[in-house]
Amino acid sequence: MAEQLWRYGAEKLHEMVLSREVSCREVVESHLDRIREVEPLLNALITICYREAVAQADAQDKRLAKGEPVGPLAGVPISIKDIISTKGIRTTCGSRMLAEYIPPYDATAVRKIKEADGIIIGKGNVDEFAMGSSTETSHFGPCLNPWDHSAVPGGSSGGSSASLVAGECALALAEDTGGSIRQPAAFCGCVGLKPTYGRVSRYGNIAYASSFDQIGPMARSTFETARLFEIIAGRDPFDSTSADKPVEKWTEACGRDVKGLRVAILKEYVSEDLPPEIKAGINKTVDILQKAGVEISTVSVPTASYGVPIYYVITMSEASSNLARYDSILYGHKTDANELISLFTRCRAEGFGKVVRERILIGTYALSAGFFDAWYLKATKARRLVSNEFAQAFRSCDAILAPVAPCKAFKVGEKTDDPLAMYLTDVYSTIANVVGIPGLAFPVDFHEGLPVSVQLMAQPFNETVLFQLGSMIEQEVDIPRLWDSAE
């Protein structure tokens, strides 16, 4: 049985470890064997923690043998997006700039996972500095979709979703700036939560756009997503933007009756232009909700259509500031030059890829004298207008239903030469980051070999209703597992 352990979800593995049916070592070795099998096909992990994972497993087995208590993630292998700091384990941001960087500390979310006895098995491949929607801009090569190796897994957390769905890990910790948890979850067919901004500490998350970035969980089920969320959420004195809100028992919301809840379809995002399979996924979700006694309506948020331009103006501006620290002196890729300006320019030209350089330049332009008011300031004002309209919309509903992306997973290389086409894959996902609200993405259908997913969004700090609705819908759909097709 040990060789099949990688097929089990996090909750099952934890139960088996606690009952001593299997050892933590057996669980880890099963997942490492799976990594050796599929990683050459997927390139989902930049760093694989062979020795570290086995050492963590052995330590937990010793404690279990002595009858000592273990945490709620004991025996559960987890991949960590390679933009989140891990002490003693390389953290590259998918970039040559940090190709050999080994952090001296853990991100707060990683520390909490370790305290819960989660076993870090690898670092998930990522678009360089999380700037992308396909995990094709990674310095370490593109990650591929586990369902179709000619397709992308989404981005920027493509390695996290691909490693999870392929059985290389049982949970994944990722980060969402404009859809980077939800869109890869949709393309690969797992569950991903973008929490309310401030719900999870950003300490140790290497910044792309500080007012948008949010660490969150990914799992194979809504319940397991909620479990990981319970562990990583909470106020952190090391992050001044983290919210002083109590950590709730979100797992208890899973399976709770949804009758009487109100879900509204976002009019601006569900139009005749949607591909038939995406619209069919929305309609299927609506049917399931109605049968469960949920009240369905339509809500209009006219400014939602400005989500993408608001997102890109502000995030590129913040990126130009956040990435200014990489200068070959204190941070980043080391190079040689005869004078200071040459040192800066060579370091950044060699260390950053094309997409990152483009976004830094655009952001610098938006912040420059003479253009600040016309671009950055106007985008921040528009952001406030959108937030106000969403607050108004939530007065008539508990959650808003929308697509995650305007398409299923697209082919590798299909959009790399057309930046606008790539940006538009975020057209339905950036809005939750613009407004700071939570969003839960989960699969509801399968079409021509690829998952079809939807997302639910809720008012700030109301993740409970998302888990309540998501877990109910999950019970009514039959989504295959990757390995079912091989049996």
pLDDT tens-digit map of 441-461: 999 999 999 999 999 999 999
Rg (C-alpha) for the chain, rounded Å, is 21
Q: In whole numbers, what is the pLDDT of the chain averaged over residues?
A: 96
Sheet holding 295-299, edge to edge: 45-48, 119-124, 77-81, 171-176, 214-219, 191-194, 439-447, 450-458, 399-403, 262-266, 295-299
Least confident of 24-38, 302-316, 326-340: 326-340
> What percent of the chain is modeled with pLDDT above 70?
99
- Local confidence band at 485 (pLDDT 50, 70, 90 cut-offs): low
Which tokens belong to 138?
């990674």
Q: What pLDDT, on the 0 to 100 scale, is given for residue 225?
A: 98
What mean pLDDT do residues 108-116 have? 98
Q: What pLDDT, on the 0 to 100 scale, is given for residue 273?
A: 86
pLDDT in tens, 356-372: 999 999 999 999 988 99
Say if CB 157 and CB 124 are below 8 A apart.
yes
More confident residue, 1 or 128: 128
Name the active-site residue from 180, 201, 242, 471.
180
Q: What pLDDT, on the 0 to 100 scale, is given for residue 154?
A: 98
Q: Which single residue is written with the structure tokens 């040559």?
A: 96
What mean pLDDT do residues 276-297 have? 98
pLDDT in tens, 226-263: 999 999 999 999 999 999 999 999 999 999 999 999 99
Which tokens belong to 203?
């300490």
Name the active-site residue from 79, 81, 157, 161.
81
The conformation of residue 302, written as its DSSP 8-state character, comes to G
Say if CB 30 and CB 166 are below 8 A apart.
no
Provide the total of helices (H) and of strands (E) in the chain, helices listed first.
15, 11
Angle at 170 between CA 167 and CA 176, to 5 degrees: 105
Say if CB 457 and CB 469 are below 8 A apart.
no
- Local confidence band at 82 (pLDDT 50, 70, 90 cut-offs): very high
Least confident of 19-33, 40-54, 327-341, 398-412: 327-341
Q: Break the chain into its structural domains and give their ranges.
A: 2-258
What mean pLDDT do residues 370-381 have? 94
Q: 2-258: what CATH class? A: alpha beta
Closest C-alpha to 107, from 163, 162, 173? 173
Tell me whether residue 396 is one of the annotated catalytic residues: no
- Local confidence band at 2 (pLDDT 50, 70, 90 cut-offs): low
What mean pLDDT do residues 110-132 have? 98
Which tokens belong to 139?
């310095």
Reduced DSSP (H G I as helix, E B as strand, rest coil) percent helix, strand, coil of the chain, to 5 = 45, 15, 40
Tell me whether residue 81 is one of the annotated catalytic residues: yes
Tell me whether residue 240 is one of the annotated catalytic residues: no
Name the active-site residue from 95, 156, 221, 453.
156
> What percent of the chain is modeled with pLDDT above 90?
91
Helix (H, G, I), strand (E, B) or coil at 22: coil
Partners of 265 in beta bridges: 298, 401
Say if CB 223 and CB 230 are below 8 A apart.
no
The alpha-helical segments, DSSP class H, found in 235-335 are: 276-291, 307-322
Q: What pLDDT, on the 0 to 100 scale, is given for residue 486?
A: 46
